[in-house]
Amino acid sequence: MERNRYRIIFLGPPGAGKGTQAERLAEDLKVKKISTGDILREAVAKGTELGQRAKSYMERGELVPDEIILGIIEEAINDEEGFILDGFPRNINQAKALDEMLSSKGLNITHVIFLDVPDEEIIKRIAYRRVCLKCGAVYNLIFNPPKEDEICNNCGSKLVQREDDREEVVRKRLEVYRGSTEALIRIYEERGVLRRINGLGDREEVFRRIREAL
The site for ligand ADP (CB under 6 A) is made up of: 12, 14-20, 36-37, 40, 57-58, 61-64, 69, 87-88, 90, 94, 125, 129, 138-140, 143-144, 164, 173, 202-203, 206
Cα angle 22-185-43, degrees, rounded to a multiple of 5 = 45
| Closer residue to ligand ADP (CB): 3 or 202 | 202
Tell me the number of residues near Zn ion by CB under 5 A. Answer: 8
| Closer residue to ligand ADP (CB): 29 or 58 | 58
Got the DSSP string for 21-68? HHHHHHHHHT-EEEEHHHHHHHHHHHT-HHHHHHHHHHHHTPPPPHHH
Q: Which entry of ligand ADP, Zn ion, none binds 18, CB below 5 to 8 A by partner kind?
A: ligand ADP
Q: Which entry of ligand ADP, Zn ion, none binds 180, CB below 5 to 8 A by partner kind?
A: none
Q: Which entry of Zn ion, ligand ADP, none binds 44, CB below 5 to 8 A by partner kind?
A: none
Q: Minimum distance from CB of 71 to ligand ADP (Å)?
A: 11
Cβ atoms 181, 91 nearer than 8 A: yes
State how far the Cα of 136 lies from the Cα of 123, in Å rounded to an integer. 21
Neighbouring C-beta atoms of residue 2, cutoff 10 Å? 5
State how far the Cα of 99 lies from the Cα of 82, in Å rounded to an integer. 15
End-to-end CA distance of the chain: 23
What is the sign of the dihedral through the CA atoms of 28, 82, 98 and 36?
A: positive
- The reply to whether 45 sits near Zn ion by the rule CB under 5 A is no
State how far the Cα of 46 lies from the Cα of 67, in Å rounded to an integer. 21
| Closer residue to ligand ADP (CB): 6 or 35 | 35
| Closer residue to Zn ion (CB): 135 or 213 | 135
- The reply to whether 109 sits near Zn ion by the rule CB under 5 A is no
Q: Which entry of Zn ion, ligand ADP, none binds 137, CB below 5 to 8 A by partner kind?
A: Zn ion
Residues in touch with Zn ion (CB under 5 A): 132, 134-135, 137, 152, 154-155, 157
